[in-house]
Structure 1
Amino acid sequence: MLRCTRYSLQLLQPHPSFPGGATCSCSCPCSPPSSSFGNQHQRLHQPAALSPATSRSSTPLTHAPDHDEDGPSDDALLALLRAHDTDAAYSLFSSKPSLLPSSPTTASRLLAQLSFNSNGPDGFPRAARLLQSLRARGALDLLDANSLSLAAAAAARCRDARLAHSLLLYMLRQGLLPDRRAYTAAVSRLTPPTKALRLFDAVLRNLRSAPPELVSPSCLPDAAAFNAALSACADAGDCRRFRQLFDAMSEWSAAADALTYNVVIKMCARAGRKDLVARVLERMLFSGLTPCATTFHSLVAAFVGFGDIATAERIVQAMREERKDICLLLRAVSMDCDGVTDVEEGAVLLDDIVAGAKQGQGSDEVPLLPKAYPPNARVYTTLMKGYTNAGRVDDVLAVLRAMRQEAQTAPASRPDHVTYTTVISALVGAGDMARARAVLNEMAAARVPANRVTYNVLLKGYCQQLQIGQARELFEEMVTDAGIQPGVVTYNTLMDGCVLTDDSAGALAFFNEMRSRGIAPSTVSYTTLMKAFAVSGQPKVAHKVFEEMERDPRVTVDRAAWNMLVEGYCRLGLVETAKQVVERMKERGVQPDVATYGSMAKGIAVARKPGEALVLWNEVKERCLKEADEELLGALADVCVRAAFFKKALEIVACMEEKGIAPNKTKYKKMYIEMHSRMFTSKHASQARQDRRRERKRAAEAFKFWLGLPNSYYGSEWQIEPLLDGDDLS
């Protein structure tokens, strides 16, 4: 066993999200500064277009900070900004960031141009730093709607949807209406989808309540904005809200387009409405809309999601044959589903969206596609995923061969990195690492560069096959030869491989290497490292990792981390320490679950404290009996059988049988015969002692009856009835 003294867990230092501060992406400017903001209606004025050069039309605020002669003057900053020398303007500002621009025009223009240029080498952090400085000085109200909209759009584009959300809420609370491109970008990227929908609803409410003469057309939602919100509804599975938003499009003169109906396919698939999915293409064509390549990808993805690989295959084959009557194929699928009546109430609301087509010359008319739509790499890859889910690896490889052949005449069918990664994933899932590695070499030969995800899939396969040596070699190839920088998922995968091979030293080495590269550990990183020490019998070191996790502001200590700490102590039978951890866990508002109790049951068995099992069983019955699984119930039953607590053992196995879990009678027979067969047969026991054993003996006879061993009442039920006076089972 490895000793704790071999390891020194390095202390973690928070990595700032942006240069100059760790809290920029988390700081929420939606909490307004304490200064006054003036008339709400004045602040509803919006620029006609979203551009970095538009300045604020409101009057300057009297409380704006003054600048001394050593700080950047507004005139100097504004001159650089008007010359479009944004880099020089930012350098002037950052030379003394505590002295901010004092006029709304300068502050708004600086933020607008920094946001507009956020795709440069420095990215969005420069704009974020300016926002942080303004917020710290209570000067966010210097910014106009145009600059804030640009900043929100840039934040969303740079995958900081949280900051974009905060900026947009701040604008709405201050009576500023954001440009539609800003809130569309945020809604399309916000998670969870319910949060995105709340933001979109807030925008619509503010637009409805604002005086019409003060609402710029650039603020009104268009089809793209509604498509983003409808997609969020589909992700959330909210059919009712989806129907409401779809109907609201006409209110805002936002006509549904092809992308809208692509989202309709997604919603119908999410709601389990295969019959409606098959009719959306007809609905589009009858409405005069031209499908796009994404439409057919959505259809194939929907049927793959239903597990209907046959229909997905037929669609792809029809596309390969350049048929224009795909609606005829889908109509047959729809007719097969007509007899299905088990539809949820909310999903019924989707019927009118799909069935509201202008049927033209008659309902029997089958519309033809305006042109042929050959399958592209995305469609083929989606079909591959369906084959992978069904375990049809040979079909995955067959599709790859077909794509390579078609690529000679149809470049859109050329396999890309997603395609090859899907093939590698299928082979890894089948345990065929040799062929998976060969596909990686094929990618290089085809000049399709692999990315980090591709290597992560292969690394996971090697780790699952306990081939940690090959995983290390591939990791070196990834970093050195391919020049791909590893991420937190890469290191988590390698650490998990070390756990599987009982190499806690290796797991710690990867953890420290990850931090040395400047990669912030995730919650999974900490939990995996804790597991490495827990399974190697070093719970105290696991506890040190846990304490480091608690001090790291970038991660949240979740139930999995607590459970891993409990498991570490229970593996060594340190039940009292584990109980202390559980109590502390409860104090922190984290309730134990089945995994927690399962670890405790195993710890009780190791510690040989069967009395604790009775207390634990009572708590399980009170808190999580419905969720109790085979592992937990089996562990408790084992302890009770070994301790001759047959009455409790019968309760537990009865619970297992009610859940459809088959108890291992063979194991329990062996345990009973080896441990308890002579339990009540001693001829030298006193009569008083025999009397004290009567109840236990009766439970033992019932347990023997359940096992099918010879007992005192064959032919009766094994459930325990009240013991009657005079009963004698000796």
Structure 2
Amino acid sequence: MTGRRGRVEKGNVSVCYAATSVKGRPKGKSEGNPSEREGNEGEAMNATLLQPPLSPFQRATAGDQKLISLLRERKTEEAWETYRNSTHLPNPTCLSRLVSQLSYQNTLPSLTRAQSIVTRLRNDHQLHRLDANCLGLLAVAASKAGHTLYAASLLRSMLRSGYLPHVKAWTAVVARLASSPDLDGPSQALSLFRSVSRRLRRLPDPAMAASSQPDTAAFNAALNACANLGDPAAFLQVFDEMPRFNVEPDALSYNTMMKLCCGVGRKDLLVFVLERVLLLGIPLCVTTLQSLVSAYVELGDLETAEKLVQAMREKRRDICRVLRECNLDDQDNDNDDDDCVFEKLLPNLVDQSGNEAEPPLLPKVYAPNTRTYTTLMKGYMNAGRVSDTVRMLEAMRRQDDKGSHPDHVSYTTVVSALVKVGSMERARQVLAEMTRIGVRANLITYNVLLKGYCQQLQIDKARELLKDMVDDAGIQPDVVSYNILIDGCILVDDSAGALSFFNEMRARGIAPTKISYTTLMKAFAYSGQPKLAHRVFSEMDNDPRVKVDLIAWNMLVEGYCRLGLVEEAKKVIQKMKESGFHPDVSTYGSLANGIALARKPGEALLLWNEVKERCEVGKPEGKCDSSVPPLKPDEGLLDTLADICVRAAFFRKALEIVACMEENGISPNKTKFTRIYVEMHSRMFTSKHASRARQDRRVERKRAAEAFKFWLGLPNSYYDGSEWRLEPMEGYGTTSDSV
């Protein structure tokens, strides 16, 4: 091995020497005879061979110098190739700069490369080689690319390692999480915000991490998370923390407070939020009034929304007076805890006495614009007022002010209204009109149309629209587009088509979301292919960009239960519990249907016992197990369990279940249960020659049967002492009514 290495080094050195000797030859000097040249080269060769080879440290240093030189010249692609071909791990400066530049490119391939560096360092326990700046940039890039969970995980890892990310970095991730449609997103956003603020409060000197201190944007992102959660107490906690960091709320902070009021159904407080903004002298803009219109629309109060828009059209400054007059009948609220929170958030609630205080005026007139009118149009659309939606669009076209003319959002709202009522031809006409007048449709417009075709079971037209969207409009589909198409395939029982769209989505480089995975699982579960659903579940579980939730577990249970595979479903539920998820009504409902299909009434008794225990959790006289949340059963679950028990003659349990239904305001189907009883149990008891123990069990079951007949209103011993002529039914009487 040593000799071979020496020959390689010798060859390399001789080539280098030959190049140097030619370049360094004095000008005009003859080359000399061959023997003289051979002698000179031999001496030089011997001198070179006497030099020691480069040590690994020297080679590493040379490689790092080359890498840092490429990075300084912004040759990121060449720098990546150099890093990838390197036999050693570059120094921290090179690694941090490479991750920073890859993250700054904001492309999926560059993000994947940056993540691979982090993964390598984490596996080698060398993550400390990266500085806080590059990790923060990577977190921002990941959140922009939709890898929000990865970004949040990266920031938490930084906090555990003692790093404090830049405020722009952690605010971007908090904002993305707060706006996530998944309730888990806002919760994680609030948790991340609290982790950073708690770490900052522990510092002896705030100047030590001035670049990490939260600003107004950071607090607004956290407030938005609280509003999306509908949690006034958490909102107040974040709001009260703003002065500790010398941050003042702005108009967006109070717009978010309007969103909170809307989320908790406090329509009566909206006007006081506007008045608070005016009393504090916070610079007002039209977005605050648009937030008011949006809140009233969201709460279904279109009348007040119309009056507000009309007052803006009339150039009135007494908007607060207008809203107070509309607010006279909305003062009742039974939640004292919310009242206490909002009194702290809005001191003017306490200051004003009986609405006698003069409401403040707007600093100037604010005219409605396109967004204001479009928001009102969405209200009409949600209320099913299609004609009003179209009429509003026509009115916007006739406006003299170009700022009020309809835009792509306005047209998309009309398209949505038409799709909602199944008028797909008119919706396509609106799309054609947009093209004709030069209003460019966007991805949302096409997604609305795709959903409409799928709901109408016109999958072929949805495929054609997808092709037109890409080829003619030049708009690339996103994960929402494919989720709609996958769900449409489920409606027409085309699991192969669903899988095809899923694979096409990934081939385009679009990362699946939780909805993508669970929708594909639904396709396989509904088509009787639970093993394929399980494979999709496993892939979802291994995808770091998504997090398995209860919906995915339930879909897996549903897949097995649809085939009556109760034991496999129970194994899934056990793994679900071990993973920290508690079964909900949907889980139990699927299992009950599976039990009914498999005709295993004994399993129904076990399930009912578990459901009954969960129903008792949280009751004053019930079992207090804080680790298990209470359960409120629905009609489907209880009706299925009662049906199984009645068919199996478990009348005592059936009475417990129907009593639970009545306690939860569910009316049992007595007609159905009467029919089952008459058809199956008019000849139900065993022979008189049965054993004593069996006769004793028969007495208990007969009492339960009489009680159930009494509940049904059939003739029984409780009415007149008479009994039906009950004769034994062959093969019956061997099943116990208890477990």
Amino acid at match of 2:469: M
- Please give the TM-score of this superposition, normalised by the length of structure 1: 0.75
Amino acid at match of 1:188: A
Q: How does 1:661-672 map to 2 (within 5 A)?
A: 661-672=666-677
- Do residues 487 (structure 1) and 474 (structure 2) align? no
Name the structure 1 match of 2:285: 292
Distance 2:535 2:188 in 1: 36
Q: 1:100 to 1:380 in 2, by over 3 A?
A: farther
Q: 1:246 to 1:470 in 2, by over 3 A?
A: same
Distance 2:688 2:205 in 1: 98
Distance 1:69 1:688 in 2: 91
SS at match of 1:345: helix
- Do residues 601 (structure 1) and 567 (structure 2) align? no
Query: C-alpha displacement at 1:385, in angstroms?
Result: 3.3
**Can you list the C-alpha shifts for 1:182-233, whole angstroms capped at 9, x where unaligned?**
3433332335334434444454455555465954765544433333333333
1:444 corresponds, among 404, 410, 435, to 435
Q: 1:452 to 1:335 in 2, by over 3 A?
A: same
Name the structure 1 match of 2:186: 193
1:633 corresponds, among 622, 635, 638, to 638
SS at match of 2:366: coil
Query: C-alpha displacement at 1:523, in angstroms?
Result: 4.3
Q: 1:138 to 1:446 in 2, by over 3 A?
A: farther
Asked if the contact 1:290/1:370 (under 8 Å) is kept, the reply is no
Asked if the contact 1:488/1:514 (under 8 Å) is kept, the reply is yes
**Bigger CA radius of gyration:** 2
Amino acid at match of 1:602: N
2:319 corresponds, among 326, 339, 351, to 326
Q: How does 1:364-443 map to 2 (within 5 A)?
A: 364-406=357-399, 409-443=400-434
Q: 1:391 to 1:97 in 2, by over 3 A?
A: farther
SS at match of 2:465: helix
SS at match of 1:340: coil
SS at match of 1:478: helix
- Do residues 355 (structure 1) and 367 (structure 2) align? no
Name the structure 1 match of 2:648: 643
Asked if the contact 1:315/1:326 (under 8 Å) is kept, the reply is yes
Q: 1:123 to 1:77 in 2, by over 3 A?
A: closer
| Greater helix proportion | 2
Distance 1:329 1:414 in 2: 26
Query: C-alpha displacement at 1:136, in angstroms?
Result: 6.1
Asked if the contact 1:227/1:260 (under 8 Å) is kept, the reply is yes
- Please give the TM-score of this superposition, normalised by the length of structure 2: 0.74
Query: C-alpha displacement at 1:295, in angstroms?
Result: 0.7
Query: C-alpha displacement at 1:278, in angstroms?
Result: 0.4
Distance 1:531 1:646 in 2: 35
Amino acid at match of 1:281: L
Distance 1:529 1:687 in 2: 57
Q: 1:109 to 1:529 in 2, by over 3 A?
A: closer
Q: How does 1:222-301 map to 2 (within 5 A)?
A: 222-301=215-294
Query: Whose relative contact order is higher, 1 or 2, with alpha carbons under 8 Å and at least 6 apart?
Result: 1
Gaps of 5+ in 2: 1-55, 179-184, 617-630, 724-739
Q: 1:701 to 1:510 in 2, by over 3 A?
A: same
Distance 1:608 1:216 in 2: 65
Distance 2:425 2:173 in 1: 43
**Can you list the C-alpha shifts for 1:685-709, whole angstroms capped at 9, x where unaligned?**
7686997755545544443333334
Q: 1:86 to 1:375 in 2, by over 3 A?
A: farther
- Do residues 657 (structure 1) and 662 (structure 2) align? yes
Query: C-alpha displacement at 1:119, in angstroms?
Result: 4.9
Q: 1:486 to 1:709 in 2, by over 3 A?
A: same
Distance 2:134 2:536 in 1: 44
SS at match of 1:384: helix
Q: 1:274 to 1:529 in 2, by over 3 A?
A: closer
Amino acid at match of 2:415: I
Asked if the contact 1:417/1:448 (under 8 Å) is kept, the reply is yes
Distance 1:70 1:217 in 2: 35
Asked if the contact 1:569/1:575 (under 8 Å) is kept, the reply is yes
Distance 1:560 1:495 in 2: 17
Name the structure 1 match of 2:11: none
Amino acid at match of 1:466: L
Query: C-alpha displacement at 1:254, in angstroms?
Result: 3.0
Q: How does 1:12-31 map to 2 (within 5 A)?
A: none
**Can you list the C-alpha shifts for 1:444-473, whole angstroms capped at 9, x where unaligned?**
334333333333333333333333333333
Q: 1:67 to 1:433 in 2, by over 3 A?
A: farther
Q: Which moved more, 1:315-324 or 1:554-563?
A: 554-563
Asked if the contact 1:279/1:330 (under 8 Å) is kept, the reply is no
Asked if the contact 1:578/1:600 (under 8 Å) is kept, the reply is yes
Name the structure 2 match of 1:60: none
Q: 1:123 to 1:336 in 2, by over 3 A?
A: farther
Report the aligned-residue RMSD: 4.2
Distance 2:129 2:556 in 1: 50
Query: C-alpha displacement at 1:346, in angstroms?
Result: 4.9
